[in-house]
Amino acid sequence: MYAESIRRVFRSLSPRKFSPHVGQEEQLTYPSQTAAPSREPSSPAQSQSCVEAACEQYSRYIDRLSTRAAQAAHVQPDTPEEKKSESPPPTFHSPANRLNRRAVRDVTLLFDNLDQCDLSKENALPPLNGMLEENIPPPQQLTTLSIESTTKSSCDQTLDELPPMHVDVDPCVHYYHFVPIGKGGSGSVYFAQSKADRKQYALKKVSPTTPAKSRALENEIRTMHALKHDNIVQGYGAYSHHSNVWIVMEAMDIGCLTHVLDFLRDKSYLLSENHIAYILRETLKGLWAMHSRHCMHRDIKSDNVLVSSDGDVKLGDFEYTAELTAKSPKRRTVVGTAWWMAPETVRSSFYDYGADVWSIGILSIECAEWVPPLFGMDTTEAMQVIREGVQTQGFKRPDIWSPQFADFVRGCLVRDRDERYCVQDLLKHPFLDKACSKAQMANVFRAVRGMPPL
């Protein structure tokens, strides 16, 4: 299987074997195994007694989960009288079902930890996503909007599928003319020509040094291959050579949106609202493709929005992508980049797709003012401000922007997750009707590289 083969590759690159991942979530004490049964035949009465004892033990365990979940939600458990009252069955996103989802979250943690262990084949559990993928309806908030976009496929691939993985193969065998174009915290990126079709591709060179980085790299490869959309950077395969992994990706010749904003800042130019609306609309299309597949990006910022000389705008860098399921509809791991993180993420509270929407609001201000709010603060100070909400994040010069743009940003940056806009609200927002044409946007991108206009 692809998943098993790539795990073997990552383990060979890591200095030590995979160990169970212990995040910031509280670890539970699970029911211990009972003593080994006697080899002597047992009577029917004894067998019935053992079954009743086991059922009682797990019943107490489930009660503990429900009580702890209720305490976390500041809600008291239902009394027997309340349980008997007839009520319609709760929907997936109804308030009545939130407590149940919090309770099963603790059980899900057990499967997450086991799935990340270096288990032998005979003792390994099936992947958690495979167990929960069947018959899961999409979130209600993502089924009410029909978007006309040039989607390459119906996104029916699962995240368990992987692109071709070339083990112990130098990418120079298939590519030539490597040109370095950038270097970041996760690795270096090169443009290279394919010997097969003579097309240009981007190759990202990464050297994972820990099991956590190996898992993040595997997640990035899997996500790029599974999500096929015109506003998501595509992945075509990977190579492992010596201690490095090379990811073959779609080439975006201008680079990231940060390069465009830095260029404009140096020239003292601001993007018009027409240009900003175009960038946000295309970014939201890519984000919609992820959310409709139950995936969160969790690191939306200008560095991870890639643009081309043809006017294409695509989401990239899926290192922190998380897949949400019916039994694990929220996350609480603190990941991302501080200045773009939502309050619930900074507080290590449970969060969902709304965290990406908050990041879209910060990206909107970044497009308008070159940098995000709080960018002058260090990471710790910025996270404290976001956590406590002592400073409102918004435009430095609100008077130069239209009421539609201000409302778009305001709806993204509502601290109460339940009151915050969702992706389909943003895609229907009148501000995006101002978007310029693709050719007009391409000319701005081309100016960054000194290319002639279209």
CA atoms within 13 A on the CB side of 230: 11
Task: Single out the residue of 172, 173, 169 nearest to residue 190, CA to CA.
Answer: 172
φ/ψ (deg, to 5) at 206: -130, 140
| Whether the Cβ atoms of residue 368 and residue 270 lie closer than 8 Å to each other | yes
Coarse DSSP helix, strand, coil percentages of the chain, rounded to the nearest 5 percent: 45, 10, 45
- Count H helices, E strands: the chain? 14, 11
What letter would DSSP give residue 397? S
Cβ contact 132:92 at 8 Å: no
Instruction: Output Rg (C-alpha) for the chain, integer angstroms.
Output: 25
Active-site residue list: 299
Tokens found for residue 260:
């465009």
The residue assigned the tokens 């004892």 is: 53
Residues with Cβ within 8 Å of 444's Cβ and at least 6 positions away in sequence, in order, are 260, 271, 275
Query: Per the annotation, does 213 bind a ligand?
Result: yes
Q: Is residue 61 exposed (0-12), middle (13-18) or buried (19+ Cβ within 10 Å)?
A: middle
Largest CA distance in the chain: 89
Name the one residue in this structure whose structure tokens are 């007694």.
49
Binding residues for ATP: 213
Binding residues: 213
